[in-house]
Amino acid sequence: DAKTTQPTSMDCAEGRAANLPCNHSTISGNEYVYWYRQIHSQGPQYIIHGLKNNETNEMASLIITEDRKSSTLILPHATLRDTAVYYCIVRASNFGNEKLTFGTGTRLTIIP
Amino acid sequence: DAGVIQSPRHEVTEMGQEVTLRCKPISGHNSLFWYRQTMMRGLELLIYFNNNVPIDDSGMPEDRFSAKMPNASFSTLKIQPSEPRDSAVYFCASSRDVYGNTIYFGEGSWLTVV
């Protein structure tokens, strides 16, 4: 499985955009980039995913570089409820390899 | 829509006892995953099923652990006998199919073995 590298922790001021980077330099052509987050004591929550194009939904935007070796998750207007551990995961789409393999993630703290 | 439902939410048991964790996936989902989370090892996949058939059980720690999916709406993870090192949060997750679709997680079962 392609591995990802994320900063251990980040702070962001409330109301600002939070930009979370992720490196996945060994990503393969059939692997998607997924982002999940885990708020304390809860199950992981899906945020967004993409293959090579930038994606946006009601929660966040995902920017993937043209060479697909890195990506950035953007929370446009961070709130205190966005404090969580954010996981960047690469996931294959072929049968038998679809599992999500979690790393250690980035602990994002939103500061009032 | 109801999400992935797990039970019990919390369980405290004595070493040596049998523990059974239960999961009801989201209706219409045909892939089901069991994860375990500890401080030391983070989130790790134990086993996953597709159409009720185990596809990858390489993460199951040892013979004390077993998982079944008798039908599309129910799965169990059993630990027998339980040990203190099994204390963890166990998450069940499901997805509609295996080809790149989103995996949704339950709220977890918090297990403490004393």
pLDDT, tens digit (0-9, with 9 covering 90-100), for A80-92: 999 999 999 998 8
The mean pLDDT value for B31-57 works out to 94
* Chain B residues close to A100, C-beta within 8 Å: 33, 45, 103
Asked whether residue B11 carries a pLDDT value surpassing 90, the answer given is yes
Position A2 scores a pLDDT of 55
| Stated length of chain A | 112
A42 touches chain B (CB under 8 A): yes
A111 touches chain B (CB under 8 A): no
- The overall average pLDDT reported for chain A is 92
Check residue A68 and give left, alpha or beta (phi > 0: left; psi -120 to 50: alpha).
left
Query: Model confidence at B26, in pLDDT bands (50, 70, 90)?
Result: very high
Contact B101, B46 (CB under 8 A): no
Which of A37, A99, A101 to substitute to test the interface with B, most B CBs within 10 Å?
A: A99
The mean pLDDT value for B5-20 works out to 97
The mean pLDDT value for B86-106 works out to 88
Phi, psi of A25 (to 5 degrees): -70, -20
